[in-house]
Amino acid sequence: MNCPRRRPMASAEPGVFFANFGPPPPERPPPEGFHEVELNKTRWVIPKAYDRLRTLGEGAYGVVCTAEDLRTGERVAVKKFFRPFQSTIHAKRTYRELKLLRTLKHSNVLEMIDVFTPDTEVASLNNVYFVSVLIGADLQNILKIQRLTNDQIQALIYQVLRGLKYIHSAGIVHRDLKPSNIAVNEIGEVKILDFGLARTADHEMTGYVATRWYRAPEIMLNWMHYTQTVDVWSVGCILAELVSGKPMFPGDDHIDQLTRIMGVVGTPSCDFLSKIQSEEARNYIKNLPWMPRVDFFTLLPDASADAVDLLGHMLALDPDDRISVTEALEHAYVRDCRDPEGEPVADHQVGIDAEEEAATSLDDWRELIWKEIQTFRMCSRRLSYLSGVSGDDKCSVELEEQSSFSVNEESDVDDVEEEGNF
């Protein structure tokens, strides 16, 4: 059989094809005041004030190292965003995290103490770093090496709820709570991490967001518009894991995840099924065999009666029946840890400003992220001249976020790729 002759590859310019496979262009030398460090084949260009870097961890969106702040002698954590302008999704996530970390000020929320770029102008902005206090291990790592006592679990869950009360009062839904996003220092203080997937509460919220095992079912399967109670479901999953030492719903995929959830909370009522917007999801659930609700005492024999009762309210399948963070803080389970007078709320809500709403291109997001960096650094310089002013008052946010929110009807499904929805 005679095969057809292949046509030669066309090229706009001779040699362009081969030039694309040549060595990358040389890196620009660090600007004044910066120095270059290589860690695990990753180039870091950071201010000279940060030295003695050591790799701490790596995720899908960034690499974190520890460094010594030569001005204070303290160890800090430095995060380098991984290709923040690879796509508009990456850029949006970077912007959200910087904006929220700059705005939120609470002892149970990670504090950003510096943000910088070695790039000298907005058009060339490709590298973004932020610095935070160095926290100890996260709950995921702690659970690998030890089981916690009931008193320790109560104290940790109380602090997570305390931090969430503040976050929710600012009009924010975290959407990605999981053990690896809950850090604990050597004296047991909790910090909530990673606001890259956080969203304003009035923003139309559908689709994929958090790590599957800790997702509320209404967002995992894109069932309906969801609310701040998706974070409560995640806290319930974390509480169950702290008590038992293993994940509550370790699904292999979204179908297996749903099956595991139904196997614990039981088949939903007809009233709840009527709230599910997806006809395909409704039909799928109707065709499942009927499953009774399982007594949490059976699943968690080591749990206290108060823990089981709180879990029952947190892991309610119907979001309308699920307990709120404020209600959870009033529950008997955290009564011994609670200080009602020590639960501050935000003094304003963080909205979506017009520039963020209008951002569509990478250049738009570069402008917004550049503005975030400059705003934070200007505020930091101003703070160095202020004295006798409380920390929360020093840096009142100068954004237009206190005005009414804009509502975007666009689905959040573009935030992260999903393996499948109903």
Tell me the binding residues for ATP: 80
Candidate list 114, 119, 138, 194, residue with the active-site label:
194
CA distances to 196, 318, 351 from 354, in Å: 19, 34, 10
> Could you confirm whether 412 is annotated as catalytic?
no
Annotated binding site: 80
- What single-letter amino acid sits at 377? R
Residue 60 CB partners (closer than 8 Å, separation 6+): 82
Residue 324 — φ and ψ, nearest 5°? Answer: -85, 170
| Cα torsion 168, 173, 177, 182: sign | negative
Could you give the CA distance from residue 108 to residue 231 in angstroms, rounded to a whole number? 15
Could you give the CA distance from residue 185 to residue 108 in angstroms, rounded to a whole number? 11
Could you give the CA distance from residue 167 to residue 151 in angstroms, rounded to a whole number? 24
Closest CA to 92 of 245, 192, 232, 196: 196
Residues labelled as active-site residues = 194
